[in-house]
Structure 1
Amino acid sequence: MGAQLRVYRQKIRSAQTTKKITRAMELISASRITKAQQRVAASGPYSRAITRAVSAVATFSNVDHILTTEKETINRAAIVIFASDRGLAGAFSSNVLKESEQLATLLRSQGKEVVYYLIGRKAVAYFAFRQRAAEQNWTGGTDQPVFDTAKEIGDALVAKFVQDDSEGGVDEIHIVYNRFVNMVTQTPEVVRLLPLEVVEGVEEPGEHEVLPLYEFEPEVGDVLDGLLPVYIESRIFNAMLQSAASEHAARQRAMKSASDNADKLIKDYTRLSNNARQSEITQQISEIVGGADALSSATK
């Protein structure tokens, strides 16, 4: 009984230590999620302004730009996967990796060769474990994205897109990331980044509203050359911010669940420990009573 009691007490201490760690990580994620949500909201006006500008140029011009024109034959497709650098976030990384695998299967069924660009150590480890190659990867700072990283990723993707197939270029680019819906729901999202699909068109004018007239200076092609890379960088940065907010929310939820499970373990082991202790006390009392009875019988 004594050995069993020691085992239960050791398990209680282990569960209490685990609870301290998970509780601390839950509080850290809770403190960071607010800032991450604010960054997502703050990136919205800029992203919408860039989208309207690109939409206006694409709508009111007849120029065929390389970033907006779909090729007749698509041979190679790139998938950019936004995962996390750290674990303990539930199914955050596995969901986006699963979505990317489904997308890759679909693209291969269409006769396209698939290449990968990875963001986050979890995605890199996933591919390394399966001995699969990736064109390029970026690690570090997935929970606190910076625009310089988004610009670097955007430059690399645009360079590959304008490159010829024979030289290792790609014909289309897809991004896969977790979109932040709320604290409970984070949805894997697949977006075709290139050839460019402007997601927000020019709105129809109201009853007393007049359509704007656009004059492009310099030429339309030069305007697109300047706008489209900025648009792509903003889309990538927004995906990074969405992924970061989703990561914090997923980690907070996972750590809260772990803390609740630790509480349940502590309660269960405490009850078992009390039962073992009571059994030990009962056994000791029985031995004492039995010994006293034996001595009493011997003296008679």
Structure 2
Amino acid sequence: MAASSAVLRSAASHVLGGSRFGGGGGGGASEPIKISCVRSLSSAPNHSSGFGAAISTSSRKSVARSIQPIKATATAAPPSVPKSSSGGKTKVGINGFGRIGRLVLRIATARDDIEVVAVNDPFIDAKYMAYMFKYDSTHGLFKGTIQVVDESTLEINGKRISVTNKRDPAEIPWGNLGAEFVVESSGVFTTTEKASAHLKGGAKKVVISAPSADAPMFVVGVNEKTYQPSMNVVSNASCTTNCLAPLAKVVHEEFGIVEGLMTTVHATTATQKTVDGPSMKDGEEAEGLVRISFLVLLVQQRL
């Protein structure tokens, strides 16, 4: 496990609906800002003022006033899954059968509105895909059935899934395989230009399972309502952002966030070294993962 801390002075505006965490700037205030955790019935907060009536520059007492707890939800109901153009289940293809790709497939097998029809990974053959999918060291043994039909076909719970091993996403025949939506979970094609290569093979939409430098980023329950049908390539942001953004959204809307301190306790990732050695990312990740604490610099930058 690895822990990291970062002062959130400028969160991505497209994740928190255009609002930003602002820094304190120059000199400090003469009095500390204090936050009230209750809302008075006689004085509702004015959200347009940022903090509203719930925050003052001095402590306030509520004497002989009726007090009502704040009611807020971090997430709304998940958006409905778009139906396939053929009128049946949403047909999905997965590029990259690592941690995220395998979990997407596991979740899809438990749903009746999504069907994974193809998986592409240039480094894993069908036999090893089946083994890794069935025996998961974190989530346990897959409770359904899985078998290798041939080197290009898996059968999971009686449904066949095509297997390809293309390095170039433009060469994956998503259209011929029946996939309309592609989950880009290889961790390689994270920009709009690179991920758009899937569209050349017949895919209609691409969802990147990582932060993107330029693709629109969405967190369900935070800003998914701003999605436009014209967006063919989008990002689902980072795992850390998906943990933080829903909570930050509620706090920001109810009180207003001027500055925040976030600590993430992060699971070990595939790029970490088991022992000290050279790293393609940064010096900190070159150190062995048995260290209890180190800075996850890349995640901090993407927040």
Task: Work out whether the TM-score is over 0.5.
Answer: no
Point out the structure with max Rg over C-alpha: 1
User: Which structure is higher in RCO with an 8 Å CA cutoff and minimum separation 6?
Assistant: 1
Greater strand content = 2
TM normalised by structure 1 equals 0.27
